[in-house]
Structure 1
Amino acid sequence: MKVRQAVLGDAGEISEFLQQLEKQGLRTLPSDAAYVRSHYIDHADKIQCAVALAEDGTILGLQILKVASEGNVYGVTAGWGIIGTHVRPNAARRGVGKALFVATHAAAVKAELENIDASIGAANAGALSFYESIGFRTYRTPEGKVCKCFEVTA
């Protein structure tokens, strides 16, 4: 599996598997290519947006790391990182998220982040388990969500 930075041309393929996640009830945010470009690949607060590729070049997943701005919609402390991970349904439980997190962790260290927040739907057992497995710990539970924190170390 290869990990690289996402480019604008990836938006259509990413959108396609985000729509699959939406149909399965695992995603509530928009899934169209324009949203992928503006909120993930080309977002002003982006530190990194990485994709994992299969041998044939198919995008298996993406992981976004942004810096939390003051008053962000997630209620995350300004200056913390905000992470999002999305894996193609047929690639789940194959190490895609963990491979992506190697690159994301390096980007977080380089950006000198102290903490990263993952705000997860309370009913999303797979995502809750994934983040716990890579060292995120629950630090708050607003209505319908579980917010996990990762303390960044070099």
Structure 2
Amino acid sequence: MDIRPATPSDAEGMKTVHDEIFAAGLRKAPGDIRQVMASYIDETDRIGCFVAVDDDGRIMGFQSLRYARTGNPYGVAEGWGIIGTHVSPHAARKGVGSGLFRATLDAAKTFGLAKIDASIGADNALGQAYYEAMGFRTYRTPEGLVCKMFEVSA
């Protein structure tokens, strides 16, 4: 498996990951190329976005990290990072999530973040367990969400 920064040529594979998550009943909507480009590749507050690619060149998952500005849609404190993780159900339990987080954590440290937020659906037990395994801890629970925080150390 190769973990590397996402590029525009990865958008179709990232959309496919969203589609696979949707087909498994773990996402509310299928993928959309424009949304992938806007939210992950061309995101203006992007700190990093990484893809996990298998030996055949297939994207197994991706993780994004953006800078939280005042008034962000997640209610995250300004100056924190906002993380999002998307792993194909076909790639579960293969080290994709932990590999992606290592790359994202390096980017967070380079950028100088102190904290990272993961806002997870309250009904997403897999997502909550993943972030707990990565060292995130619950710090608030707005309606419908469980928000977990990771303290970045140098």
Runs of 4 or more above 6 Å deviation = none
Name the CA distance, whole Å, in 2 between partners of 1:120 and 1:42. Answer: 23
1:102 is matched with: 102
Task: Name whichever of 10-19 and 25-34 sits farther off.
Answer: 25-34
Name the CA distance, whole Å, in 2 between partners of 1:148 and 1:84. Answer: 12
Task: Kindly report which structure 2 residues correspond to 1:60-71, keeping only aligned pairs within 5 A, or say none.
Answer: 60-71=60-71
Name the CA distance, whole Å, in 1 between partners of 2:27 and 2:3. Answer: 23
Q: Deviations over 1:94-139 (max 9, x none)?
A: 1101000111000000110000000001111111101000100000
Task: Kindly report which structure 2 residues correspond to 1:83-122, keeping only aligned pairs within 5 A, or say none.
Answer: 83-122=83-122
Name the CA distance, whole Å, in 2 between partners of 1:53 and 1:30. Answer: 21
Name the CA distance, whole Å, in 2 between partners of 1:105 and 1:2. Answer: 16
Deviation at 1:24, TM superposition (A): 2.5
Deviation at 1:30, TM superposition (A): 6.1
Q: Deviations over 1:7-54 (max 9, x none)?
A: 111111111120221233322366201100111111000000000111
Q: Which runs of 5+ in 1 are unaligned?
A: none
Q: Does 1:24 align with 2:38?
A: no
Name the CA distance, whole Å, in 2 between partners of 1:30 and 1:75. Answer: 25
Q: Does 1:152 align with 2:152?
A: yes
Given the two structures, how large is their TM-score scaled by the length of structure 1? 0.96
Q: Does 1:46 align with 2:46?
A: yes
2:15 is matched with: 15
- Percent identity among equivalent residues? 53
Task: Name whichever of 8-17 and 141-150 sits farther off.
Answer: 8-17
